Amino acid sequence: MDKELDVWVDRFKATINKEKDFLGKKLSKGSDTEIYIQAIYLGYLDASRTFDGQDKVNKDQNTVKEIANSMKRYIDGLCNDFDSMFYDVCQKLCDNYKMKFGQAQKIINMACKYLFCVADEGIKDRFDRCHMPLDGTMLEWIHRNIKDENNKYLKKVSTWSKLDEGEDNTACTYRYYKRYVEKYCEDNGKTPLQLDFENWVVMTQILAAENYLKTFTEDELKQNKHITMMQLVTT
């Protein structure tokens, strides 16, 4: 694994204490389907606050196993079209659990992110085609860092959980953001998942710092010049 990416992966792991048992496992070619099921459930936990208290993913374990097997087939190299597999399993989540595409993509993309954290070096390249998990944090990062063909920063959707799959050229849809993220990665020699690892933790800190600074009045900030964005993010 790239040493710089290794640092960011470790930093991400440090933020997810509830997943310690999962992080103690190892994903290799031919691993049991159970590790994929656990990853999907962890992805669900990341999106669960948008489900109005409904424990959707636990309702139909047959569907979850079917999705897990599809992901396993891709990681094991039995199929090479990640996009087709991804949109197919997202549709299964939407159809069987009556969820929005924005929720489904978060579950599957986060499952891939968790699996990458425990994957053997020999299968790391299977994650190169994975997508960036889109949530409020990374949509804000995209809005601030990626521009369209007219040199304008991309607009951001108001609620990530209601994100539509859409089309490549339809603003504020999943495929629209995916297209620009992939172009950015191509230009900068990164993968979408790597871009997420490198920016999610920092962007989370930046947003928290910005919200904290908003609690001060202008006069209070002038009187406390030592309170800076950089200090809040790096301490």
Contact 93, 104 (CB under 8 A): yes
pLDDT value at residue 6: 87
Check residue 227 and give its pLDDT: 57
pLDDT, residue 61, reads: 81
Q: At what angle do helices 33-47 and 101-118 cross, to 10 degrees?
A: 130
pLDDT of residue 220: 63
Nearest to 162 by CA among 84, 101, 208, 79: 101
Q: Residue 113 is which amino acid?
A: K
pLDDT digits (tens, 9 = 90+) for 53-105: 555 565 568 899 999 999 999 999 999 999 999 999 999 999 998 899 999 99
Q: What is the pTM of this model?
A: 0.88
Q: What is the CA radius of gyration of the chain?
A: 19
Burial class (CB in 10 A: 0-12, 13-18, 19+), 51: middle
